Amino acid sequence: MADISIIGAGSWGTALAVLLHKNGHKVTVWSIVEAEIAMLQKEREHKDKLPGVRLPEDMVFTTDLAEAVRDKDVLVLAVPSPYTRTTSQSMAPLVKEGQIIVNVAKGIEENSLLTLSQIIEEEIPQAVVAVLSGPSHAEEVGRGIPTTIVVGARKKTTAEYLQNIFMNEVFRVYISPDMLGIELGAALKNVVALAAGIADGLGYGDNTKAALITRGITEIARLGMAMGGKIETFSGLTGIGDLIVTCASMHSRNRRAGILIGKGYTMEQAMDEVKMVVEGVYSAKAAMGLAARYDVQLPIIEQVNKVLFEGMPVDEAVKNLMLRDKKIENPLIPWDDTM
């Protein structure tokens, strides 16, 4: 049995708390919001973000960060991506040498263009940092619906240790050394999911969705490989797998926000309506910053940025994508002109 703290009591953090408790671990859940912790202690259910999922009586809830961090075997960092740096700064004096932190949020910091694990390593250099990602909506994990994800870590021993902690009969865990590829797939799929939602809001169909998913993973892999990620990662669970589920499911806050934008809402109105952090909005500008740094074209993500931040009408963005210069789908496949 491991002693584990979940830092962040949103839907994903709460779902993982339930999973880890079922696996026999001692679980503490921390939130900076006193009203949220009081509600969890009293109701034993996150009625706002994970309704219907009961929280065990022996699960501990606290607003005391020192209580949550000190002497724990594993810290699961589950705060929304915009708060990763500030939360890491608060945790840093409390984290002991070699303590494991598993980041489960998804995003890229807009100003620094760092992945979330890179931020944690920068702020808490004494920690051993890993990531957990994949097609895994909290609403389903909390209910015990079969799910498959990936743990990424620099050392295989760390990944195997976490694999044993998280894995059970309904939560299958693979391991990978490609932390960069895992995190880029996780962050950028949210931007493509906004585009998929916009298409749904415009009333487009399955043809459009398939095109966005297929060309979207091409963009993600193009940038990811330029940065040092592995093609196998982008064709796996944390690449195409996570992209499919985020573009197709109404559990996806990014898709839901996109639908509203497609129907005429502004970005701010859509985010207010969804009532949760829409990670893709925060990663969209960072993606374009990375594209400029690595000289990579991201046409779908570029048009999403123009809709979000430049006021471009969504139908004009679609036209821009459809009327781009003629292309070969895969220039690596040779032509045989003798036939």
Long-range residue pairs from 213-217, CB within 8 A, at least 24 positions apart, any chain: 213/240, 213/243, 213/244, 213/247, 215/299, 215/300, 216/189, 216/192, 216/243, 216/247, 216/300, 217/192, 217/243
Q: Could you give the CA distance from residue 35 to residue 48 in angstroms, rounded to a whole number?
A: 12
- For 258-278, give one letter per residue: b (16+ CB within 10 A) or e: bbbbbeebebeebbeebeebb
Candidate list 189, 209, 230, 285, residue with the active-site label: 189
Is 189 designated active site?
yes
**Could you list the active site residues?**
189
